[in-house]
Amino acid sequence: MSFFATLASGSSGNAALLSDGKTHILIDAGVSCKRLCAAIRTYSIDPGEISAVLVTHDHGDHIAGLDVFSKYYGAPVYASRGACRHLALLPRAAKRLRLIDGSSISFGGVNVTVFDTSHDAEGSVGFRFDAGGLAVGYFTDSGCVTASARRALAGVDILVIESNYDRHMLVTGDYPYYLQRRIMSETGHLSNDACAEYCCEMLAGGARRFLLAHLSENNNTPNTAFSAVKSALTGMGAAEGRDFTLSVAPRHEAGPPELF
């Protein structure tokens, strides 16, 4: 069985899992090792069976559990050159660190395309996974849709995309101005509106399943993000259930698997 699932998603920690039934890939490790392992076992996979860990970037909500996970399990850790410079400071993960040298890499029957994101972390990236005849795009932590993302994600069937904040909630909330500017900048995060606009573009290009991820706990809600994207997609004349499916990744627990 091939599937993709989020293990945790949001400002407090991010991790995901992709499997083609034989090869199991962990994407980020932004929660404790204990939580990671419990979530992985939800899908009847032992953490020791993880084939590789792919890291999008070195912010704490994406690597918090990486060092301890690397202590107990032998999966190699792959990251961009920029991210490797920071991950090399983690004593256990550094021993398993591998450079993603180029734009694609394969693990068993899973081909991974790597693309640049626009975030305030050195060497931040996203991933496209081709396995079992379908493609999954994983695109979070980017203040804008990069040209590299557009090229890599063209034609994916399932798009996992950041819908981080509602602009009105952010500018009227408690965050200081400098933090608002950082989040809304081109090296910050995607807003609900920017996410919705790109989902419309991707729907026109053939994507049919959308999973909203990395929602802010303070400046968004699942209903707000869902409504913004659904309104944009149905505004194109598409019908939920007939032309697309839309869901929001849960923050603190493993999500239902997207089968493919």
Return the CATH number at 197.
3.60.15.10
What is the residue range of 121's domain? 3-251
Number of domains observed in the structure of the chain: 1
pLDDT at site 101: 86
Instruction: Say which DSSP state 31 is in.
Output: S
101 domain-assigned:
yes
Q: Along the 260 residues of the chain, how does pLDDT read in single tens digits?
A: 899 999 999 999 999 999 999 999 999 999 999 999 999 999 999 999 999 999 999 999 999 999 999 999 999 999 999 999 999 999 999 999 999 988 999 999 999 999 999 999 999 999 999 998 999 999 999 999 999 999 999 999 999 999 999 999 999 999 999 999 999 999 999 999 999 999 999 999 999 999 999 999 999 999 999 999 999 999 999 999 999 999 999 999 999 999 99
- Residue whose entry in the numeric block shows the structure tokens 């505004």: 235
Contacts of 234 (CB under 8 A, 6+ apart): 240
Burial of 172 (0-12, 13-18, 19+ CB in 10 A): exposed
235 domain-assigned:
yes
* DSSP state letters, 85-121: HHHTTSTTGGGGEEE--SSEEEETTEEEEEEE--SSS
pLDDT at site 161: 98
125 domain-assigned:
yes
45 domain-assigned:
yes
49 domain-assigned:
yes
Helices 222-235 and 192-204 pack at an angle, to 10 degrees, of 40
260 domain-assigned:
no
257 domain-assigned:
no
259 domain-assigned:
no
